[in-house]
Amino acid sequence: MTELQDSLFPDLPPLPEAPRAAPPPDEAPAAPKKPRTATVAPVPPHPALVELAAALPPGLRLGTSSWSYPGWAGLVWEGEHAESVLSKHGLAALARHPLFRTVSLDRNFYRALTASQYARYAAMVPDDFRFVVKAPSLVTDATVRDESGRGTEPNPVFLNSEIAIQEFVQPALEGLGHRIGALVFQLSPIPSQLLADQDALLARIGAMLASLPALQPTAPEAVIAVEVRDPQLLCPAFATMLRDAGATFCMGLHAKMPPIEAQLPMLRALWPGPLVCRWNLHRRHGRFGYEDAEKLYGPFDRIVDSDPETREALARVIAGTTGAGQRAYVTVSNNAEGCAPLTIASLAQDIVAAAAKQRAP
């Protein structure tokens, strides 16, 4: 892509039950309880979506950020289900949507998953499905926060290599195996005193990344990516550090970061290479607008704030990247426009159009 180049006790027999007294003659025995099942059936794929999916570049993986949203009834699964049911059983239905070939495991950011939890997710999806996994905040947030999210003290294990391996990379490799697509270290906004010494900060990030075990022997398509929330880190030294550590940049579409066009230099500096992108939040909500977006967009069943400019710009980057033979992992949050499945459908159409335009003489 010329423009892009340029411009993770033995079983014992049950105790015998005590004999039950016979019910009084006038008391009928209780009816046996029916076993409870919690199945989430996918919506039958619409022919137009199947056709659209077939037209997308084979190296592209589109998906949502998480999946436990009751408002997606009729879009992703049939019938209405509680959030708790979808959290446990919705992934299998989501993975059968024709446009979804990845998903972001965001819950890992709040509490690290175990290898067995990862393995449970892996068992729910097709062999060709891939996961984008956020690293736990335990290693990506420089500050220890209270329940309200307010920073209370410096995090003593920020960017700790041993914690990153033990709590994130190794469990992901063991549980997800070849289904890893991207392991993303999304660095929370960094305190000003650390940002002031950028060289030292980048050296710490690079040392942590360089210590991680290689993913490719287990997950040949997997990449390590770093997403930031401090625009001043979008600099040549950051790109050099990522390249030297064998990692890549995760483009974060978020109000705390500049638009796509201002992030493209990072992609150019790391070219050729894969695209990892997380479309997190509509820019109208500002730097701290997640709660506002959640209130406005719930139950996430329709587009509320269409953002065609971002969609079209992202589509051009995706088309160019995949057209040059590189892979792309792109996940979309409900907070991007109001409904991630509908945003992805529109984005897919834009990608097909952008790819056709780039192929035209």
Lowest mean pLDDT among 52-56, 227-231, 281-285: 281-285
How far is the C-alpha of 335 from the C-alpha of 291, rounded, in Å? 10
Is the confidence at residue 78, as pLDDT, over 70?
yes
CB 346 within 8 A of CB 78: no
State the pTM of this model.
0.88
Average pLDDT over residues 92-108: 97
Domains and CATH numbers, the chain: 40-359 (3.20.20.410)
Q: What angle do CA 152, 153, 154 make, to 5 degrees?
A: 145
Per-residue pLDDT, 38? 65
- Report the pLDDT value the prediction gives residue 353, as an integer from 0 to 100: 98
- Please determine, for residue 129, whether its predicted confidence score (pLDDT) is greater than 80: yes
> pLDDT of 130-171, one tens digit each?
999 999 999 999 999 877 667 779 999 999 999 999 999 999
Contact 351, 318 (CB under 8 A): yes
Helix, strand, coil percentages in the chain from 3-state DSSP, rounded to 5:
45, 15, 40
Q: How many CB atoms lie within 10 A of CB 176?
A: 27
How confident is the model over 306-352, as pLDDT tens digits?
999 999 999 999 999 999 999 999 999 999 999 999 999 999 999 99
pLDDT digits (tens, 9 = 90+) for 23-62: 444 444 444 443 344 689 999 999 999 999 999 999 999 9
